[in-house]
Copies of this chain bind each other. A is one copy, B any other.
Amino acid sequence: MSDATGKRWVFFLSDRTGITAETLGATLLTQFDEAEFKQSTLPFINSEDKARAAVEYIDQVAGSSGLKPIVFSTTVSDEVRVILRGANALFLDLFDLFVPQLEGELNVKSMHREGRAHGIADRDTYQIRIDAMNYALNHDDGVGEDGYEDAQVILIAPSRCGKTPASIYLAMQHGVFAANYPLTPEDLENQRLPRILEPHRDKLYGLSIEPDRLHHIRSERRRGSQYASLPQVSFELRQAESLYKRQRIPSSDTTNMSIEEIATMIMQEKGIRRRTF
A90 to chain B: closest CB distance in Å? 4
Residue A31 contacts which of B70, B112, B173, B260 (CB distance < 8 angstroms)? B112
Instruction: Kindly identify, within residues 95 to 143 of chain A, every residue whose CB is under 8 Å from any CB belonging to chain B.
Output: 95, 97-99, 101-102, 105-106, 108, 110-113, 116-122, 126, 129-130, 133, 137
CA distance A9 to B119 in the complex (A): 23
A28 to chain B: closest CB distance in Å? 5
Query: Is the pair A33, B70 in contact by a Cβ cutoff of 8 Å?
Result: no
| Residue A172, interface by CB 8 Å | yes
Give chain B residues whose Cβ lies under 8 Å from the Cβ of A263.
17
Give chain B residues whose Cβ lies under 8 Å from the Cβ of A18.
264
A105 to chain B: closest CB distance in Å? 4
How many subunits of this chain does the assembly comprise? 2
Give chain B residues whose Cβ lies under 8 Å from the Cβ of A129.
165, 259
Are A258 and B106 also in contact (CB < 8 A) when A27-B74, A164-B137 are?
no
Q: How many residues of A contact B (CB 8 A)?
A: 71
Instruction: Kindly identify, within residues 9 to 33 of chain A, every residue whose CB is under 8 Å from any CB belonging to chain B.
Output: 16-20, 23-24, 26-28, 30-33
| Residue A43, interface by CB 8 Å | yes
30 A-B residue pairings within 8 Å (CB atoms): A8-B106, A18-B264, A19-B173, A19-B260, A20-B24, A20-B26, A23-B23, A24-B24, A24-B94, A28-B98, A30-B113, A32-B102, A32-B110, A33-B116, A34-B108, A39-B277, A41-B274, A68-B105, A70-B105, A97-B98, A118-B258, A118-B260, A118-B261, A119-B261, A120-B257, A120-B258, A129-B165, A130-B162, A133-B165, A168-B172
New A-B pairs, 11, CB < 8 Å, besides A17-B263, A70-B105: A23-B24, A27-B117, A28-B95, A31-B99, A31-B102, A32-B102, A41-B274, A44-B268, A126-B258, A129-B165, A133-B164
The 7 closest A-B pairs by CB, nearest first: A30-B116, A31-B110, A17-B264, A118-B260, A27-B117, A90-B105, A20-B27
Residues of A within 8 A of B (CB): 8, 16-20, 23-24, 26-28, 30-35, 39, 41, 43-44, 68, 70, 74, 76, 90, 92, 94-95, 97-99, 101-102, 105-106, 108, 110-113, 116-122, 126, 129-130, 133, 137, 162, 164-165, 168-169, 172-173, 256-261, 263-264, 268, 274, 277
